[in-house]
Structure 1
C-alpha cells in the first residue's frame, strides 16, 4: 500500500481526536443522567411526592439540552471514518460498520423516539407508562454506548474476523465473538458507569449551589442525597472495573500497560514500586524522576506476587521476530496478488498473524518497498520498526494518572457529602458544598483522560496488531485538512458555548414549580430575575 504523507496522518489524527474529545464532553452526562432520572421517577411513582416529579422534570430538562447538543457533535464522527480514514474503512468496514449500524438503527432511533414521549407524555401517559418510557430512554442510551464500544473494542482486540487475501479486507466471521469480546464488554461497563459518576456529580454540584444560595432547599437536599449515594457506589464500581480492564490490557496489550506504568525494564521483584509520579523520557527510554510505593505494582497488574511484568525495552526486542515474519507475510501477499499461486498463499498463511508488523515496517524500507530490503539492511529496518511498536509513554502515563487521581478524589467527595447529607448536616459545611460546585467538570475530564489513555496506549495501531495508524488514513492535501480542522474546532466551540449558556440559564432559574414559592434570599425576587452568576447570595 502506498504511504500517506505523515503530515496528513497527523492532521487526521488531530481532527478525529478533537471531534471525539468534544463529543465525549456530552456523552458521560447523557449516560449518567438517564439512570438518575429513572431512579427519581421511580421514587415519585412509589411515594407520590410532588418533589420527586419536580426533580425528574427539572433534571430531565438539563438532560435534554445535553442530549441534543451531544447528538449534533456525534454525527460527524462516523462520517470521518469514510472521509479521513478510508483505508481503515476499506480494511475493517465489514466488521467495524456492523455495530455502528446497529447502534444507529436500534439504540439511537429508540432513544430519540422515547425521549419525545418522556418530555411530552407527562399529561398523556399514566404514571407507570411514563416511568416505563424513562427506563427505555435509559436503556437506549446505554445500548448506544454498548454498540459504539463494541466497535472500539474490535480496534483494541480484533475478535470475530480474519483477513481475506483475495479481497484485502478483514472478513466478518463471528457476531458472537465481536459482541462478547472481553475488551469490549469490560470497556462498556467501565465507560457507562463512569457516565453515572458524571451524572451524579452534575446533579450534586447544582444542588449544592442551591443550598449555598438558600434556594429550593427541599428539592436540593433530596437531589444531592440521591446523587451522592449513587455517585459513591458508581465511583467504587468504576475503580473496580478499571482494575479488571487493566488486567485485560496486561494480557492483550502489554505495551499499553508498560506505558501506563512507566515501566522500561522488566520487573520480577514483588517489591517493585507502583509509580505515583514520574517523568518518562521517550527518547532516553528512562524516567528522570520517580516517586513510587513499593510492593504494589506486581499484585496490582498481575494479581500475583511473583509474575514478571515485561518492560518496554524488552517488549521492543520481542517485536523483532514478529517484524521479520510480517515482512515475509506482506511479500508473499504481494506475490499472491500477482500470481494467485498456492505456494505464495501458503507462505502468507504461515506468517499471516504478523502481517500488521510488515505494514509497520514499510515506512522504514528503502523506497517503502519491503521486497527491496537487502540482508544487510534488514537489521536496521527491524530495529527502526521495533522502536515504533510502543506508544507515547509520557502521554499515556500521565493521562492514566490524572484519570485515576480524579477517581479517588470523587470517592472521598461523594462519601463526605453522602455522610453529612444523611445526617442532615450538609448546609453547615459550606466548603464541601463549594467543592461540589467546582467539581462538576471533574468526571467529564476523567472520562476524557481515560479515552486518551485507551487510544494513545493502543498506538501505533488503528487495529491492534493488524493495521498501523499511518496506513489507515485517506490521501488528502494539507490545505483541506487544515481548513476542515479549523472549521470543526470553531463549530464545536459554538456547540459548547451553546451548551454552557443553556445549562447556566436553566440551572439559575431552577425548578419552575418552586420559583414563585421560593424567592431569592436577600432580594425578594423570583430566581428567574436573579443576576447572572453565583450572586444570588454570598457563599461566605
Structure 2
C-alpha cells in the first residue's frame, strides 16, 4: 500500500476544489438560460411579437459567452482525474468513466452541435424548427449535468458495482443501478433547478439595471417579469428537492447529515432545535454557542416527530467495530494476494463491506501497515481512527447554512419582484431594482456552497465507505503540484477576466434593436395575453 505525501494530497484536493468551483461558476447559468431562452422563443412563436425574438437573441448572446468559457474550464477538470487522482481512477474508473463517456458522446456533442444551429439558424430555419433546436440545446445541457451527477452519485452511494479482489477495483456490473442511483436522481434535479434560479436572477438583475437607467424599458420589463415568475417556481423546487437530498443523506451518509446540523450527540425528538448558527469546534468536538429553533430539526430531517438523528460521537462509537472488521478485511485481502487461499478469500468476503474502514486506519497503524498491527495496539489504532470518519464540521455546517439562507433570500426577492411587476410599479421601486441588480452573483455563490456541502460532507472518502481520500491521489512531488497549481490559477484567472469583460460589455450595450422602444412602437402588433400593459414598467 503506497502512501502519498500528505502535502501532495492536500495540494491535489485544493487544486481540484478550485477547478470545480471555477467551472461551477458557469454551469448553473448555462443550465438555466437554455430553458429561459426556450420559454422566450416559445412566446415569440406563439404570438409573433418581435420583442420576444429580441429577448431570445440578446439573452442567447450572453448564454453563448458563458457556454464557451464553461466548456474551456470543464475540460481541465476531467484531465485531473487521471493526472492527480490515479489511484482513484484505477479503483473507480469503470464506474466513473462510463457516465462521463456517455456525457461526452450523447450530451456534450449534441449540445455543441445544436448551439451552432441556434445562433446561426434564425434566418435559415422556420420559427418552429429553430424553436425545436433551442429546446434540444436545453435538453443537451441538462443531459450533460445528468451524466456528470450520475458519476458523482457513485462516489456518494456506490451502487451497480462490486469489489473484485483479483483486480483490486470496483467492477461495473449494473447500468440500471448506476443510472437510477437515488442520489443521482435527486441531485440532478436539485442542481438543474438551482441553475434555473441562477439564470432567473441573472436576467432579472440585468433587466433591473436597464430600468434604473431608463433604457430598453419595455424589453427590460418583460424580461424582468418572466425571470421573476421563473425564479419563484425554481426556488420552490430547489428547496423541496433539497429536502429530498437531506432525507437521503440521513439514510445513507449519517456523518454528513450530523455535520450539516452540527449534531455532536444523538438528538432527543421532538424538542431538538434546528441550529441556525453555531461555532463548531472540530478539535474539541463541540459547539461553542448555538442559536436554534426548537421542534424543527426532527420533522425537517426524519419527516417524523419521534425518530432520533444519530450524533457524531455515537457515529464514532459505532465505527469502532467496523474499523476492526476492516482491518480483518485488508489483512485477509493481503494474504489472498499472496496465497490465493480459499480460506483467506472467504474471510475477506465476510468483512468486505468494512474494507474501507480498514484502509482508513492505515494512517494510525505502525509503519502504516494494518496487516501487522500487534494485538496489544489494535485498540489504540481503532480509537485513533474513529474521529477520522467525520468530515470537517465547521466547513460543512456553514456552507450548508449559507446556501439555505441565500435560497430564502431568493424566494423573497423573486416573490416581491413578481408582485411589483404584476402591479406595474417596477420603476417606482428603485431599492428593489438595486437589490435585484446586486443579487446577480448570489445564486452562483449559493450553488458553490451547495457543492462544498456535498463534497466536504463526503470526506474522508472519495468513494464513500470504500476508498479514503488520502489513498486516492497520484504520487507527484510537492514542487510539481505547486507548479501546476500556479499555472492553473493563472489560466483560470484569464478565463474569469474574459467572462466578466465580455458579459459586462454586451450587457451594457443591450439588445441590438428594441422593437418596443418609442421609434418602433408603431410597427408593433396588437398586444397579446403574454404581454404586460404597453405603458407598464
TM range (shorter): over 0.9
Residues 41 and 56 in structure 1, CA contact (< 8 A), matched pair in contact too = yes
Structure 2 gap ranges (5+): 520-537
Moved over 4 A (4+): 515-519
Equivalent position SS for 1:183: helix
Residues 51 and 514 in structure 2, CA contact (< 8 A), matched pair in contact too = no
Give the aligned partner of residue 189 of structure 1: 189
Residues 37 and 56 in structure 1, CA contact (< 8 A), matched pair in contact too = yes
Task: Give the stretch that moved more between structures: 91-100 or 367-376.
Answer: 367-376
Residues 407-446 of structure 1: CA distance to partner in whole angstroms, max 9, x if unpaired? Answer: 0000000000000101111110110000000000010000
Residues 344-380 of structure 1: CA distance to partner in whole angstroms, max 9, x if unpaired? Answer: 1000000000010011011111001112211111011
Residues 216 and 518 in structure 1, CA contact (< 8 A), matched pair in contact too = no
Equivalent position SS for 2:132: helix
- Equivalence map 1:414-425=2 (5 Å): 414-425=414-425
User: Once superposed, what is the RMSD of the aligned Cα atoms?
Assistant: 1.0
Write the distance in 2 (CA, Å) between the matches of 1:515 and 1:381.
73
* Residue 229 (1) aligns with residue 265 (2): no
* Residue 142 (1) aligns with residue 105 (2): no
Give the aligned partner of residue 522 of structure 1: none
Give the aligned partner of residue 127 of structure 1: 127
Give the aligned partner of residue 453 of structure 1: 453
Deviation at 1:516, TM superposition (A): 12
Deviation at 1:515, TM superposition (A): 9.7
Write the distance in 2 (CA, Å) between the matches of 1:59 and 1:197.
15
Residues 29-75 of structure 1: CA distance to partner in whole angstroms, max 9, x if unpaired? Answer: 00000000000000000000000000000000000000000000000
Give the aligned partner of residue 22 of structure 1: 22
Write the distance in 2 (CA, Å) between the matches of 1:2 and 1:73.
31
- Equivalence map 1:197-208=2 (5 Å): 197-208=197-208
Give the aligned partner of residue 412 of structure 1: 412
Residues 81 and 89 in structure 1, CA contact (< 8 A), matched pair in contact too = yes
Write the distance in 2 (CA, Å) between the matches of 1:182 and 1:443.
25
**TM-score between the two structures when normalised by the length of structure 2:** 0.96
Give the aligned partner of residue 527 of structure 1: none
- Equivalence map 1:68-467=2 (5 Å): 68-467=68-467
Write the distance in 1 (CA, Å) between the matches of 2:179 and 2:460.
24
Deviation at 1:269, TM superposition (A): 2.7
**TM-score between the two structures when normalised by the length of structure 1:** 0.95
Residues 215 and 518 in structure 1, CA contact (< 8 A), matched pair in contact too = no
Write the distance in 1 (CA, Å) between the matches of 2:516 and 2:353.
69
Write the distance in 2 (CA, Å) between the matches of 1:290 and 1:304.
23
Structure 1 gap ranges (5+): 520-540
Equivalent position SS for 1:513: coil
Write the distance in 1 (CA, Å) between the matches of 2:128 and 2:324.
64
Write the distance in 1 (CA, Å) between the matches of 2:508 and 2:308.
55
Write the distance in 2 (CA, Å) between the matches of 1:215 and 1:127.
28
Write the distance in 1 (CA, Å) between the matches of 2:313 and 2:280.
13
Residues 380-411 of structure 1: CA distance to partner in whole angstroms, max 9, x if unpaired? Answer: 10011101000000000000000000000000
Residues 110-152 of structure 1: CA distance to partner in whole angstroms, max 9, x if unpaired? Answer: 0000000000000100000000000000000000000000000
Residues 218 and 517 in structure 2, CA contact (< 8 A), matched pair in contact too = no
Give the aligned partner of residue 57 of structure 1: 57
Give the aligned partner of residue 44 of structure 1: 44
